[in-house]
Chains A and B, each alone.
Chain A
Amino acid sequence: MTAAAQGRVIGRPRPTGAVLREGLGVIWRGVRQQPRWFSVAVVGSVLWAAATVATAWAIGHVTETVVTPAVTEGRWTWAGLGTIVWVLMAVLAVNVTGVVLRRVSATIAGFNLQAIYRRRVTRQYLRLPLSWHHAHPSGQLLSNAHADIEATWQVFNPLPMAIGVIFMLLIAGVQMVLVDWFLTLIALLVFPALFAANVVFQRVMSPKITRAQQLRAEVAEVAHESFEAGLVVKAMGREQEETERFGKVTHELRDSLVDVGRTRGTFEPVIEGIPTLGTLAVLAVGTAQVAAGALTAADVVQMAYLFSILAFPVRALGWVLAEIPRSVVGHRRVAAVLQATGSMEHGAATVPGDGPAEPAVREVHYSYVDRPEREVLGAAPTPSRDGTDPYTGMLADLERTPAIRGVSLQVPAGSTSALVGPTGSGKSTLAGLVLRLVDPDSGQVTLDGIDLRQVRQGELPDVATLVAQQTFMFDDTVRGNVTLGTDRTDEEVWEALRIAQADDFVRQLPQGLDTRVGERGGTLSGGQRQRIALARAIVRRPRLLVLDDATSAVDPAVEQQILAALREARSGTTVLVVAYRIATITLAGHVIYLEHGRVVDQGGHEELLARCQGYADLVHAYAREAAERAAVNAAEEDR
């Protein structure tokens, strides 16, 4: 383990007792959100505690009033036996009821909290901007939604029992004080000792748990990435290297968990031993007092007895204390996601009208953030006092790579325009800006003259739709992937599929529209996925349709059919298409040529060919290549 890695994970040292306080804060937060179930659990726990104390009393009572007299008199009665069973059963019933109430409600409260936080965290995932997603690996986020939330609320399992134990301690404490205050004082010395042990424990444990949770997330991250890369790993035969990479984090996690185990393994016997030593101290001092005539033997025995019934349950307090660092760390990591800001702000404007929309871009700059190190959840201090957002505050210091450098353009309503440019020239970024997947650093993006930032939430996707380069399929049916839950008739779906040239193969699928496509559409080919994604956009009848090289996996003939069908069916749509194929470009009335994030030229295809060298080179590359090849072949044949 490198020092850098450790420093990265641990974060700031915290003052003594802070972890415990923070832990109690987390618990209180949970209690406030599940007051009913928590109360039932506490009632159950109190019943259990009372019944536990009462059991010892009941056995003593029936022994004294029924068993001993019977044996002394040499005769037993059914009534006597009845009393024994009746009394013990009554106490037992209370005990069992208490345990069931306590455990069941604690379970419900704990899982309810987990569910509540999972819902919150996933809502955050859906709300936060794409730039935030880029800075957080998917595997980590998955781990956050599962393992971190579980870690946060695990403490609710032992918690009610511990509260019951505190109740027992109170009963026992009162009884002890009634017997003898001096002995009680000695007995109570146990508590400062327990507290001291706990403070040491929390201090040692917290950084270790932080590290373990982080490594847990990293294991998930490597696994997630590696499985997503499954095909490449196999095609390149890198299974062994990948296993080694996974092995490295797995072994780090193992060492870290063993380390956690060592601390916990030390703490538990200490916490269990301290009360027992207390009992022994009471016995020793008590005996001396009896010998001195200050106490009766019976008092000391009762005292020792009271103490000994507590010996086992007191462990429950230890369990809660042992869970607290994990809970705190889990909560910090979850809070880091819940408190992340930087979501897109939306206005209240609508984009009225139903004809083709007119997108425009004015003096727009956009740059990507270079991310030398990725953020570790919960390790960074949570929002600062001056109200600046730690996330965006961090961004300001980082280098940024410009992708769009001062682009202004206007796409005429109802036109079909092509966005052309070399690989990496900013075409996809521009497409994303036009649809407000990201906001520009400066400048303005408008639709029908309305600044996209002023459009109210949910409005834009109804008006403008993107078919991305890389399609994403949901683990749903074909129909579900086309409609995405909106209300569309089968006719509309088929019509969209027809325009996307997908109707034939969908008809051949085993269950037609109701065929499940598997996760990420795994059962379909790349070209099939693209066509369904296209249908998904078409079915919404958008007023602006942006195709970002959306037919790259479809063969040219089919692409032509798609574009022809689209033109036929969509007179009310402005189409912006990112393309390389000359056939696609020539379909567009207007061509925008990009290079290095700048618009170099725009106009008709023929115009650009005539006056823009870069453009001509790009679109004629194949033809030139073919011509050269033909020339070479001809030369070879001549020889």
Chain B
Amino acid sequence: MTGGAEATAAGVSSSIGGSQELSTPAILRRGFELSPELRKGLLGTVLLALVATGGKVLIPFLVQQTTDHGIRAEGGPDVRFVLIAVLLAAGAVVVTSVAQFLVNVRLFRSAESGLATLRLKAFRRIHDLSVLTQSTERRGALVARVTNDVDTISMFVQFGGLMLLVSTAQIVVATGLMVFYSPLLAGVVYLCLLPLALLVRQFQPVLGRAYGAVRARVGDMLGAISESIVGAVTIRAYGVEERTTRRVDEAIEAHRRAAIGAQFRSVMAFSSGQAFAGVTTAVVLAVGTVFAVQGWVTLGELLAFLFLVNLFTQPVLMATEILNELQNAVAGWRRVIGVVDTPADVSDPGPEGVTLSRGPITVQFEDVAYAYPGGDRVLEDVDLVIPPRSRVAVVGETGSGKTTLAKLLTRLMDPVAGRVLLDGVDLRQVTFDSLRRRVVMVPQEGFLFDQSLRENIRFGRPTATDEDVELAVTELGLDAWITGLPHGLDTQVGQRGESLSAGERQLVAIARAYLADPDLLVLDEATSAVDPATEVRIQRALEGLTRGRTSVAIAHRLSTAEAADFVVVVDQGRIVEVGPHRDLVGRDGVYRRMHASWASQQGAEVT
């Protein structure tokens, strides 16, 4: 059984990882692995970057040569030499600029392509995570993972990473030149900068934590702000603007503090580098004076060496700066990788999975139990067979485990014990593609997209034509409602479908499922907000749909149960009664009590 181990793992933990345990190099390696575009053409870019950097070193050198050997030439300025040198330098400027342009464009392209790939992978993974894992993270924070967190990386991959390589190259070249001029003074330089290297090492984890905190605060902040947007109705109805403002302000303030804190540490790291570089120049000049007096170096060599020290410390400073930026990028990367590498506890078996053929479907629960992570069992000892072409109603009190049953049946979750079989095959072995084609659930709050009604219904079967959509609407008896809308099927439903009432949203969700035309339809309180007359009409249409199909309806209104072939009564996580309405209502059990209570509310004429 492929999914068994994972299902057990899901019982232990079901939250999105932060990949906290990964070290910076491991994060980088994984980051590059996830975005192969970052490496594409990197060699060419590095070569071009070396040209550009070479040019940037060469130009001051040429300027210096011009002044030393041209203008200050013995016997008056050498105009010809100056002209040649100036033209050479101008040529170098052009070559450098072109190389730099190419580097920039190549980097932007590879960086943005790589990050787009990363965004997509993270996005897909979030959808692949189980419903349970998704609900542990706030939406605002999830959105941050595919937007701002990825953006954080862009600075580094656009030029930071490359500059780090180039700086290293420059450090190597400068070291070579320094050793060539004076190994002794080169030794002095390294001695002076050694403490900096140690300090930078010390600083990295501090910065890493600080930037990690910033990312977390961004997530909190977006979560808080999103409440002020999505909860607009509640906030206004209760006049709690002030309190919401306070909560949002707190999150904004926490982010501000974290961001300033991280930046402050980064400035300190950079400035200590700067201080070390300055000290190095002073020490080299002082020690160099002694060396020159001793005759170990000449005065000319000493002055030339000072120029080299500058050439050496510049990339060192640049590298310190980029290492700071790297920690920022790693903080973002860590969060994105955390999502991408969170195992999906309910996963597609992939190519080895079974593809079921369409047609009447049999469902079987074998000794199934379910518990939320860290919680008690909410469903236990469930044994149930749903024969093909049957209409089943699941009833029970709020919190009895009905919805859990539906979620196990549609494999939105996997049981912690036992198995659910579809035509004799364990659900965990059925490919998602095949499963979703055959089994569709209509949840109580069917989410609508900010599109037209037509597109929202088409969501059930993207290949459906306009005629298919219209036919579905007609068959469900919804055309009167649709024609009453200003633009018919082309009416825009607004965000989350908010231009429609809750009942109308449920109608759309049903039409969607109707269009999807599954072999097994699971309705979880799918008509709870619809008026009785419409509900009855839909029920009949769905019976048309469910003829030849299997349907499982979770319902409060026991009219659904009366119409079903058999009723499953769930009480405190166990199935207590199974049978047709007529039988159950005659038995002295939970169902009879429920029905009596319901019937009394419907008025005398029912009984």
**A and B: interacting chains:** yes
**CB–CB A147/B147 < 8 A:** yes
CB-contacts of B413-461 with A (<8 A): 432-433, 435-437, 440-447, 449-450, 459-460
| Chain B residues in 8 Å Cβ range of A286 | 71
Stretch at the interface among B257-265, B358-366, B379-387, B571-579: B257-265
| Chain B residues in 8 Å Cβ range of A389 | none
Q: Which residue of B lies closest to A85 (CB)?
A: B282
In the bound assembly, the distance between CA atoms of A141 and B157 in angstroms comes to: 28
A239 at the interface (CB under 8 A from B): yes
A279 at the interface (CB under 8 A from B): yes
Interface readout for A139-180 with B: 1 if CB under 8 Å, 0 if not?
101110111000000000000000000000000000000000
| Chain B residues in 8 Å Cβ range of A519 | 138-140, 223, 227
In the bound assembly, the distance between CA atoms of A254 and B233 in angstroms comes to: 35
Stretch at the interface among B23-31, B62-70, B189-197, B349-357: B62-70
| Chain A residues in 8 Å Cβ range of B252 | 115, 118-119, 122
**CB–CB A557/B594 < 8 A:** yes
Min C-beta distance of B538 to chain A, whole Å:
10
B377 at the interface (CB under 8 A from A): no
**CB–CB A484/B116 < 8 A:** no
| Chain A residues in 8 Å Cβ range of B97 | 269-270, 272-273
A621 at the interface (CB under 8 A from B): yes
Interface readout for B101-133 with A: 1 if CB under 8 Å, 0 if not?
101110111001101100110011011100100
**CB–CB B139/A228 < 8 A:** yes
Number of B interface residues at 8 Å Cβ cutoff, please give it. 186
**CB–CB B109/A258 < 8 A:** yes
**CB–CB A237/B116 < 8 A:** no
B168 at the interface (CB under 8 A from A): no
**CB–CB A437/B233 < 8 A:** yes
Which of B240, B267, B536, B563 is the one whose CB lies under 8 Å from A484? B240
| Chain B residues in 8 Å Cβ range of A279 | 63
A184 at the interface (CB under 8 A from B): no
Stretch at the interface among B4-12, B81-89, B177-185, B199-207: B81-89
Which of B93, B225, B502 is the one whose CB lies under 8 Å from A428? B502
B342 at the interface (CB under 8 A from A): no
Q: Which residue of B lies closest to A344 (CB)?
A: B236
**CB–CB B563/A629 < 8 A:** yes
B529 at the interface (CB under 8 A from A): yes
| Chain B residues in 8 Å Cβ range of A200 | none
Stretch at the interface among A23-31, A215-223, A349-357, A565-573: A215-223
A100 at the interface (CB under 8 A from B): yes
In the bound assembly, the distance between CA atoms of A147 and B148 in angstroms comes to: 8
Interface readout for A292-329 with B: 1 if CB under 8 Å, 0 if not?
00000100110011001001000000000000000000
B232 at the interface (CB under 8 A from A): yes
**CB–CB B445/A526 < 8 A:** yes
**CB–CB A469/B502 < 8 A:** yes
**CB–CB A138/B120 < 8 A:** no
Most chain B CB within a 10 A radius of its CB, from A80, A85, A280, A526: A280
In the bound assembly, the distance between CA atoms of A374 and B234 in angstroms comes to: 24
The 10 closest A-B pairs by CB, nearest first: A237-B436, A261-B108, A265-B104, A461-B239, A583-B601, A92-B278, A423-B503, A621-B532, A269-B97, A485-B243
In the bound assembly, the distance between CA atoms of A539 and B31 in angstroms comes to: 51
Q: Which residue of B lies closest to A245 (CB)?
A: B449
Min C-beta distance of B173 to chain A, whole Å:
18
Which of A75, A139, A422 is the one whose CB lies under 8 Å from B293? A75
**CB–CB A243/B66 < 8 A:** no
Q: List 8 A-B contacts (CB under 8 A).
A: A223-B143, A239-B127, A305-B67, A461-B240, A470-B445, A518-B136, A526-B525, A556-B597
In the bound assembly, the distance between CA atoms of A130 and B59 in angstroms comes to: 61
**CB–CB A139/B143 < 8 A:** yes
In the bound assembly, the distance between CA atoms of A147 and B221 in angstroms comes to: 12
* Inter-chain pairs besides A59-B306, A118-B252, 9 sampled, C-beta below 8 Å: A81-B289, A96-B274, A258-B109, A399-B486, A437-B233, A484-B240, A525-B403, A596-B484, A622-B557
**CB–CB A227/B134 < 8 A:** yes
**CB–CB A258/B245 < 8 A:** no
**Chain A contact surface mostly:** helix
**CB–CB B115/A522 < 8 A:** no
Which of B230, B267, B606 is the one whose CB lies under 8 Å from A103? B267
**CB–CB B123/A223 < 8 A:** yes
Known: A115-B256, A237-B436, A528-B398. A626 touches B285 (CB 8 A): no
In the bound assembly, the distance between CA atoms of A244 and B530 in angstroms comes to: 33
**CB–CB B533/A269 < 8 A:** no
In the bound assembly, the distance between CA atoms of A520 and B447 in angstroms comes to: 14
In the bound assembly, the distance between CA atoms of A247 and B116 in angstroms comes to: 8
A238 at the interface (CB under 8 A from B): yes
B248 at the interface (CB under 8 A from A): yes
A251 at the interface (CB under 8 A from B): yes
In the bound assembly, the distance between CA atoms of A557 and B352 in angstroms comes to: 48
**CB–CB B602/A622 < 8 A:** yes
Min C-beta distance of B251 to chain A, whole Å:
9
B479 at the interface (CB under 8 A from A): no
Known: A76-B293, A107-B264, A269-B101. A250 touches B116 (CB 8 A): yes
B2 at the interface (CB under 8 A from A): no
B466 at the interface (CB under 8 A from A): no
Interface readout for B486-502 with A: 1 if CB under 8 Å, 0 if not?
11000110111011111
| Chain A residues in 8 Å Cβ range of B161 | none
A507 at the interface (CB under 8 A from B): no
**CB–CB B494/A287 < 8 A:** no
A68 at the interface (CB under 8 A from B): yes
| Chain A residues in 8 Å Cβ range of B108 | 257-258, 260-262, 264-265
A372 at the interface (CB under 8 A from B): yes
B316 at the interface (CB under 8 A from A): no
Interface readout for B25-68 with A: 1 if CB under 8 Å, 0 if not?
00000000000000000000000000000000001100100110
**CB–CB B256/A66 < 8 A:** no
A114 at the interface (CB under 8 A from B): yes
In the bound assembly, the distance between CA atoms of A59 and B399 in angstroms comes to: 80
Which of A115, A269, A553 is the one whose CB lies under 8 Å from B398? A553
**CB–CB B282/A88 < 8 A:** yes
Q: Which residue of A lies closest to B487 (CB)?
A: A370
**CB–CB A241/B462 < 8 A:** yes
**CB–CB B71/A558 < 8 A:** no
**CB–CB B256/A88 < 8 A:** no
Stretch at the interface among B72-80, B327-335, B545-553: B72-80
**CB–CB A254/B112 < 8 A:** yes
CB-contacts of A516-563 with B (<8 A): 518-520, 522-523, 525-528, 536, 540, 549, 552-558, 560
**CB–CB A76/B289 < 8 A:** yes
| Chain B residues in 8 Å Cβ range of A251 | 116
Which of B139, B224, B289 is the one whose CB lies under 8 Å from A66? B289
B516 at the interface (CB under 8 A from A): yes
Min C-beta distance of A485 to chain B, whole Å:
4
A8 at the interface (CB under 8 A from B): no
A391 at the interface (CB under 8 A from B): no
| Chain B residues in 8 Å Cβ range of A80 | 289
**CB–CB B398/A236 < 8 A:** no
**CB–CB B127/A626 < 8 A:** no
**CB–CB A297/B72 < 8 A:** yes
**CB–CB A621/B79 < 8 A:** no
In the bound assembly, the distance between CA atoms of A112 and B535 in angstroms comes to: 55
In the bound assembly, the distance between CA atoms of A192 and B255 in angstroms comes to: 42
In the bound assembly, the distance between CA atoms of A223 and B150 in angstroms comes to: 13
A397 at the interface (CB under 8 A from B): no
A602 at the interface (CB under 8 A from B): no
**CB–CB A246/B109 < 8 A:** no
**CB–CB B606/A626 < 8 A:** yes
**CB–CB B492/A297 < 8 A:** no
B583 at the interface (CB under 8 A from A): no
| Chain B residues in 8 Å Cβ range of A629 | 562-563
Which of A126, A304, A556 is the one whose CB lies under 8 Å from B245? A126
Known: A92-B279, A139-B143. A246 touches B120 (CB 8 A): yes
**CB–CB A137/B399 < 8 A:** no
In the bound assembly, the distance between CA atoms of A74 and B496 in angstroms comes to: 86
**CB–CB B236/A437 < 8 A:** yes
